[in-house]
Amino acid sequence: MTQGLGQKLYDDCRGVMLGMRSLTWAVSKKVNAWQTLVYVPLENNYEYVS
Amino acid sequence: MAINRRTFLKRASAAAAMGAPLVASSRAIAASDRLVVAVGQWGIETPFAWRSSQSEKTLWDCAYDPLIMRDPKTFEYRPGLATEWKPSNELKTWTFKLRSGVQFHEGFGEMTAEDVKFTVEQNLKPDSQGGSAPFFRMHLERIETPDKHTVVMHFKNKVWEVPSNFTQFVGYQNITSKKYVESVGEDKAALHPIGTGPFRHVEGKQGDYHRFEAVANHWRKTPAFKELVIRRIPDPATRLSGLRAGEIDIGNVFGDYLDQAKKAGLRIHETANAACHWMVLQGQTTPDREDYCPSCPWAGDPKDPKSQENARKVRLALNLAVNKKTIVNALWKGLGSDAPFMYWYYPFHKGFNKDWKVPPYDPERAKKLLAEAGHAGGFEVRVNPLVMTYALDGPDMVEAVSLDWEKIGIKVRRVPEAFSNFLPKNRARKTNKTHWVYGSPPFDEPVLAWQRCIYSKGPFNLLADGPYDEDVDTISRDSTPRSGRG
């Protein structure tokens, strides 16, 4: 059923598809590591910045 | 004055080279102990679960805790403020066991079941516009708190999707102190949020910045930096300028700014395949909404099959007119692709179809389709080149799409309006049929997004709401155990 609605949305062209993209941040020398959440397009997990 | 793509991209590059205001420094704390994050945009700046959407998370998730966390590498569920959660009574009852000893900031006491109950029940207020509020209003029957570390939620229906609503992402039921909100009132509490997160809110200026200090011995992790400053800086040139000057430590960069950041010796942090982008074509909603537009060429009259067929041709034409590869290469610097693609349906979801590819660039066919649909001379559309939380280069993408649409005869009226103003209008379906570029986050299952974004009873319309209500209802009520992500 889920795939069926996916197909319907695709066939109906409800929006204007642009694409899937990666998100990029520039970080200063103060930032050694930053474990962000996979797939998530927002800044998060600031407590993991070291 | 009309400009072509080359001129547009050249101007975008030039903007990056311009000077920019500096980021203000703070009080008596060593610079090495301060982390400054420049966020491109946030939503309406509310810290409260019952008024929130994901767009507030980048600002407030540091000050609060959710019941369920995520494994950062696998996205699977992990214990948060809840150490365990389980359904009973055929998915109509969900019991959460809470972590003991978690303290609210500034002496507001231990987080207990009463705080969870209070937070969730705020969603039931008629004026709660949060993204999950419709879910709770529709399904929640009552909440019991048999002891201070146990919460039992009773629902009217079988609801498998409960845990997702309480996750670090994309849920947003960050637990709020009942005592605090009731003692100072919601308006005042919104200006100085009290949570249990790894950072305590110190002060802030609405629309500008918020300052936090690290909480020692936090159950999640004690932050390495003593102070966190989150600034809202929508202009990418200003963010880059601050990064170069050493006054910003983390800032989203894209397009030519990405190249410049690399040349400046800044390290780049990447989250792969993090957003799907599309232009939302407003007007595809239900007759009771102000945005309903049966006469709009791309929406059509739902009661007239011929009108619907023509509207689909128009929408396909609007897709074919846009050179997606140029957007991927020029604006995204190749860090993306035009396939695979689907609306909130990610490759990691069961049933994803690799044949769901972005329609090719074919402006000639686009013109023919417009003519077939009775719009050979084009028509006028409104677009909002806004900076959206998940689409910080929204203005560039909107402009790229607009320039391509103009080549097939569409008259594009640009009507800029800040996301913080536009978002409530989107929730109310009162955008005056104004198109904009959205970026999607990942959900555990596509239907969790569809319930929110393509469903007339949901909080937003981010594609089309109305035509798929029955499908969304059917899929939502299928209580087959999910493989899920936790």
Judge whether A4 is closer than 8 Å to chain B, CB to CB.
Answer: yes
Q: What is the pLDDT of residue B480?
A: 67
Q: Which residue has the tokens 């642009």?
A: A18
Q: What is the pLDDT of residue B19?
A: 37
**Non-local CB neighbours of B183 within 8 Å, separated by 6+ positions:** none
Whole-angstrom distance, CA of residue B159 vs CA of residue B77: 17
CB B130 within 8 A of CB B52: yes
In A, minimum Cα distance to B282 occurs at A15
Whole-angstrom distance, CA of residue B48 vs CA of residue B178: 12
In B, minimum Cα distance to A27 occurs at B250
Q: What is the pLDDT of residue B426?
A: 94
Q: Which residue has the tokens 């969790």?
A: B448
Q: Which residue has the tokens 């009507």?
A: B415
Q: Mean pLDDT per 10-residue run, chain B (486 residues)?
A: 45 39 58 95 93 92 97 95 97 98 98 98 94 94 98 96 94 96 97 98 96 97 97 96 97 96 97 94 98 98 97 98 96 87 88 92 98 97 96 97 98 96 94 97 92 95 96 88 48
Contact B271 A23 (CB under 8 A): yes
The C-alpha of B175 sits at a distance from chain A's nearest C-alpha, in angstroms, of 17
Output DSSP code: residue B438: E
Residue B420, Cβ density class (10 Å: 0-12 exposed, 13-18 middle, ≥19 buried): middle
| C-alpha distance from residue B469 to each of B68, B130, B135, B430, B480 (Å) | 29, 20, 14, 20, 20
Q: What is the pLDDT of residue B29?
A: 83
The H or E element that residue A2 is part of is helix A2-12
- Tokens found for residue B418: 């800040």
Judge whether A38 is closer than 8 Å to chain B, CB to CB.
Answer: yes
Return residues 150-179 of B near A (CB < 8 Å): 168-169
Residue B133, Cβ density class (10 Å: 0-12 exposed, 13-18 middle, ≥19 buried): buried
Q: What is the pLDDT of residue B11?
A: 44
Q: What is the pLDDT of residue B342?
A: 84
Half-sphere exposure of A25 (CA within 13 A, CB side): 26
The C-alpha of A6 sits at a distance from chain B's nearest C-alpha, in angstroms, of 7
Residue type, A18: L
Contact B279 A18 (CB under 8 A): yes
Arithmetic mean of pLDDT, A9-29: 96
Length of chain B (residues):
486
Contact B358 A17 (CB under 8 A): yes
Number of H helices, E strands in chain A: 1, 1
The C-alpha of B301 sits at a distance from chain A's nearest C-alpha, in angstroms, of 14
Residue A37 with chain B: CB contacts under 8 Å: 70, 72, 75, 168-169, 271
ipTM attached to this prediction: 0.95
Q: What is the pLDDT of residue B14?
A: 40
Residue A33 with chain B: CB contacts under 8 Å: none
In B, minimum Cα distance to A1 occurs at B475
Contact B37 A9 (CB under 8 A): no
The C-alpha of B271 sits at a distance from chain A's nearest C-alpha, in angstroms, of 5
Q: What is the pLDDT of residue B481?
A: 55
Residue B286, Cβ density class (10 Å: 0-12 exposed, 13-18 middle, ≥19 buried): middle
Residue A46 with chain B: CB contacts under 8 Å: 35, 37, 62, 198-199, 223, 225, 228
Residue A28 with chain B: CB contacts under 8 Å: 243, 246, 248-250, 266
